Structure 1
Amino acid sequence: MSAVHHVDHVIIGAGFAGLCTAIKLQEDGETDFVVLEKCSDVGGTWRDNTYPGATCDVPSQLYSFSFAPYDWSRSYSPQPEIQDYIRSVAERSGTLDRFVFDTPAEDASWDDATQRWTVRTQNGTWVSRTLVVGAGGLSAPRTPEIEGIETFQGRVFHSARWDHDADLAGKRVAVIGTGASAIQIVPELQKTLEATGGHLDVYQRTAPWIIPRNDRVYPATERAALRRVPGLRRLYRTGIYWAHESYVPAFTLAPGLAAPATRAATLNITRAVKDPALRAKVTPYFKIGCKRILRSNDWYPALTADNVELVTDPIAKVTGNAIVTADGTEREIDVLVVATGFWTTELPITEHLTGRTGRTLAERWRESGMAAYKGTTVPEFPNLFMVVGPNTGQGHTSMIFIIESQVAYIRDALRHLRRSGAASVEPLPEATDRWNRTLQQRMRRTVWTRGGCHSWYLDAHGRNTTLWPRTTADFRRRLASFDADAYRVVAPVEVAPGEVEQ
């Protein structure tokens, strides 16, 4: 029989969200917790995405914890540096002794009688007062449903599960997708294949808007100043933060304000792509911002290379050695890379979370749509807190600001539980409905809804359940303190005489 452990708090996931929660709980004296991580290291998305060219598209000074500065090497950090940062923060935090690795949460269920969560894993069971889910929306790769893809005889892998053992030298490679990962992968593959006599096919369903990436290496003098001059690093971060917040009105109120970004993106195309036919293929048909705006200086030059073909005809099927498009053209390949994103509006973890009514969170959301109160709590699921939950995503700035805001809200909820002696808190359905009704009304005015595109921001019903339609400063203000009046608060469980509560 597997061991049963009793703790105050279980945290699922050891990426930015889970690590931030662990550090801040410890600061509050909430040391009786465990972090369950399915893999063997911290890092989450930045541990898993090791594809060639993997880099953050948010400036380094902003893409880091406000309480843990770092000596970044450049303005946009590459994946290995971000992973090193996360690992170093974890090691310095003094919380790693409560991280349990290689332990995916197989099932988590709420017991209303005991007011406890029970989390089952292959390495034991944890019973806790609260459950914090920090699994994230970019953790479960989504593979395309293409006829015959399972019959392909060569190497096939998702961009988030890069096969570093695959020998690409001189090979015929296909990349499906032109999103944030693909625009970083393709230029690297193009150079590798060009040097070894290989060829690359890029399959595009929708052309993205791409603006120049103003990346630079920090000179030694600047790095020294950031380390030694009091307040300089915070000044950098504050300036970058407000510069990015200034983009919000163009997304949420007046798309015409995005005209300068449209000009920059269009100029990015015309400078690099001289062939009229190719230029037409890479020019988006929708308003800028409707899909995530990407940053690259080498995407368009890569597409113009002699060893690259951009294919815009729909894929009909995959055979044992080729991709066949709707026009009947068959392009033979040796390696297939699918850069087709993640399960963002149907989070796989929700299939394993069972609330007080006996149904899973996935079942609830299939019935009513993905929604939460303040992106953090859900009716029927007492003492469940989600970090990076519904409608908390960002198309313009750092998710770490959102993570810190949600963790602050969770900390205040736990303070309320301690002060009041309550056993659990659960958001009221009417408060949750009011929050999401107002949010979706606001969403109707945004470029994400009215921009003429279909993006991964939208669920099966066409609702944007992914992004926050206001500034992140507004989000932080709304989560500044725990609002107990929006919750069903349950009194402590009575312990029978002679029993000891564990």
Structure 2
Amino acid sequence: MTDYDVVVMGAGVAGLGLGARLKARGQHDFLVLERAAEVGGTWRDNTYPGCACDVPSHLYWYSFDEEPPDWSRIYPSQGEVFARLREFAERTGVLGHVRLNTRVVAADWDEADLHWRVTTADGGTITARVFVSACGQLAEPSYRGIAGRERFTGVSFHSARWRHDVDLTGKRVACVGSGASAAQLIPEIAAVAAKLTVFQRSAPYVLPREDRPYTEAELRAFREDPEALAKSRAEQYAERERQFWALEPGSDVGRETVRIAREHLEAQVADPVLREKLWPGYAFGCKRPVISDEYLPAFTRPNVDLVTAGVAGVEPDGVRDATGALHPVDVIVYSTGFESLKFLNGLRVTGRGGTDLHEQAWRESPQAYLGMAVPGFPNFFILYGPNTNLNHNSIIAMLEAQYDYLLQAFERLGPDAPALDVRPEVVAAYNDRLQQDLARSAFATGCSSWYVGEGGRVVTNWWGTVDAYKARTARFDPAEYRTVGSPA
């Protein structure tokens, strides 16, 4: 006997959605372990000024929810998404399955009893027939390549660990980074700081956002007519799927998207010198694009400086750039992204024969079958795992495909098949083909991004539409798995 049939690690978007699907099918023998004091994942952690979703609200939600949120605007704010997730967890009953303030430090496969032993930071052990990681790709802040951070005598923090006790009004502030988070917080800081210095490693492509609140008439239509909401979602989904083709170098959609980005830049920045500093020098899609109407105009403010020379290091009273110039500041905000390539970072996972996930199975690079299953680790599944990230559509659509696949797998785990282990040759063939496809994508065109690991391997992203992933995961094929007995 095990303590639970399924243990899920992480109570963010992925984990809460799986919990709701389990309960909907009458499966209540599961536990969700959450390291923080509240559910919500990235929408709990990222509370920086201006934080919002860059996927439309109607699309950034679970399609199976029978009581979809009454979203206030086209693109939801962090606070609104977090509140909706908290309400969803309570309304669906998933919250009753969540154990907060419980950090998982290890998960070990017990070959004798065919179950997982999950160890928590307080020394407790929980056993489960199935172990699911739902901790995501963007959880651990990254500071790579920034020397001397500990020498700074002012206040500094990462955008994902925002210090709300620090008032930036009238301060000299440095923002290191110019990615998606930076694009949201830079306009907010610029409005209150005495001076804002932005250190840009490479400029992002910036596309129009055109966000606005929904009118009362629209909100009433969405409430009273489910078809109106479904139509809005379907249109947004179709347009996002079309945008996938912008990631194919040389495509017509790609050229059109670059044209839109250039026109957006020229309409918002008049200074030709500044404009060229804000224009990328790499193929569209190689990095995550920014969707904003406020980011570019922030650089036209007299109190904002853009530094493109790169950061040489941090010193006690400021940031020194690669030309040798020192920029004195009172506060440093690191908007430097996350350790996206270190899946399940800080967690020891051992499978059959004591195989270590990080040191052995993923020694060269993280990879999984369909982003979910790793050979040698029976009954272990990953949500939002390697090569399942998107650059064009809602990740929730990918998660829903994974839920469907996992629920089919769980149905196979009866007395005749107590444990399933994906076949190594299946995983190898799948990833070889996927990497061949990714090699011709914009992700692999040579820029430095959080999608790509050592040796140029694209580790995080899927290559294809969401529809293509749905088709690939629509049917769980037991022939692709071995039935595991005891001993190994």
In the alignment, which residue of structure 1 is the partner of 2:456? 462
The alignment of Structure 1 onto Structure 2 pairs a total of residues equal to 485
SS in 1 for 2:456: coil
Q: Is the 8 A contact 2:31 2:97 kept in 1?
A: yes
Output the CA distance in 1 between the equivalents of 2:362 and 2:425.
Answer: 19
Q: Is the 8 A contact 2:104 2:347 kept in 1?
A: no
In the alignment, which residue of structure 2 is the partner of 1:336? 332
In the alignment, which residue of structure 2 is the partner of 1:119? 118
Kindly provide the CA deviation profile for residues 434-455 of structure 1, in whole angstroms up to 9, marking residues without a partner as x.
Answer: 11011011112211113x4221
Amino acid at match of 1:218: Y
In the alignment, which residue of structure 2 is the partner of 1:432? 427
Matches within 5 A, 1:272-287: 272-287=268-283
Q: Equivalent of 1:49, from 40, 46, 51?
A: 46
In the alignment, which residue of structure 2 is the partner of 1:140? 140
> What is the Cα deviation at residue 215 of structure 1?
0.8
Q: Is the 8 A contact 1:382 1:424 kept in 2?
A: yes
Query: Which has the larger displacement, 230-239 or 47-56?
Result: 230-239
Question: Compared with structure 1, are the counterparts of its residues 365 and 298 closer, same or farther at alpha carbon in structure 2 (3 Å cutoff)?
Answer: farther
Q: Equivalent of 2:442, from 421, 442, 447?
A: 447
Output the CA distance in 2 between the equivalents of 1:16 and 1:380.
Answer: 27
Amino acid at match of 1:34: L
Kindly provide the CA deviation profile for residues 198-227 of structure 1, in whole angstroms up to 9, marking residues without a partner as x.
Answer: 110000000110011121110011001001
In the alignment, which residue of structure 2 is the partner of 1:500? none
> What is the Cα deviation at residue 146 of structure 1?
2.0
Output the CA distance in 1 between the equivalents of 2:146 and 2:448.
Answer: 19
In the alignment, which residue of structure 1 is the partner of 2:57? 60
Question: Compared with structure 1, are the counterparts of its residues 270 and 254 closer, same or farther at alpha carbon in structure 2 (3 Å cutoff)?
Answer: closer
Amino acid at match of 1:115: L
Kindly provide the CA deviation profile for residues 212-266 of structure 1, in whole angstroms up to 9, marking residues without a partner as x.
Answer: 1121110011001001013111111111101110112221374343112111111
Query: Which has the larger displacement, 10-19 or 23-32?
Result: 23-32
SS in 1 for 2:191: helix
Output the CA distance in 1 between the equivalents of 2:71 and 2:281.
Answer: 37
> What is the Cα deviation at residue 349 of structure 1?
3.5
Output the CA distance in 2 between the equivalents of 1:38 and 1:338.
Answer: 23
> What is the Cα deviation at residue 276 of structure 1?
2.1
Q: Is the 8 A contact 2:204 2:289 kept in 1?
A: yes
Q: Equivalent of 1:251, from 232, 247, 255?
A: 247
In the alignment, which residue of structure 2 is the partner of 1:498? none
Gapped runs of 5+ residues in structure 2? none
Output the CA distance in 2 between the equivalents of 1:314 and 1:41.
Answer: 37
Question: Compared with structure 1, are the counterparts of its residues 43 and 335 closer, same or farther at alpha carbon in structure 2 (3 Å cutoff)?
Answer: same
Give the share of equivalent positions with the same residue, in percent: 40
Q: Is the 8 A contact 1:5 1:125 kept in 2?
A: no
Kindly provide the CA deviation profile for residues 164-216 of structure 1, in whole angstroms up to 9, marking residues without a partner as x.
Answer: 011212111000000000000000000122xxxx1100000001100111211
What's the TM-score, normalizing by structure 2?
Answer: 0.96
- Say what the alpha-carbon RMSD is for the aligned residues: 1.7
SS in 1 for 2:173: strand
Amino acid at match of 2:377: F
In the alignment, which residue of structure 2 is the partner of 1:95? 94
Q: Equivalent of 1:293, from 253, 272, 289?
A: 289
In the alignment, which residue of structure 1 is the partner of 2:370? 374
In the alignment, which residue of structure 2 is the partner of 1:497? none
What's the TM-score, normalizing by structure 1?
Answer: 0.94
> What is the Cα deviation at residue 491 of structure 1?
4.2
Gapped runs of 5+ residues in structure 1? 494-502
Q: Is the 8 A contact 2:378 2:484 kept in 1?
A: no
Q: Is the 8 A contact 1:423 1:492 kept in 2?
A: no
SS in 2 for 1:324: strand
Output the CA distance in 2 between the equivalents of 1:350 and 1:359.
Answer: 16
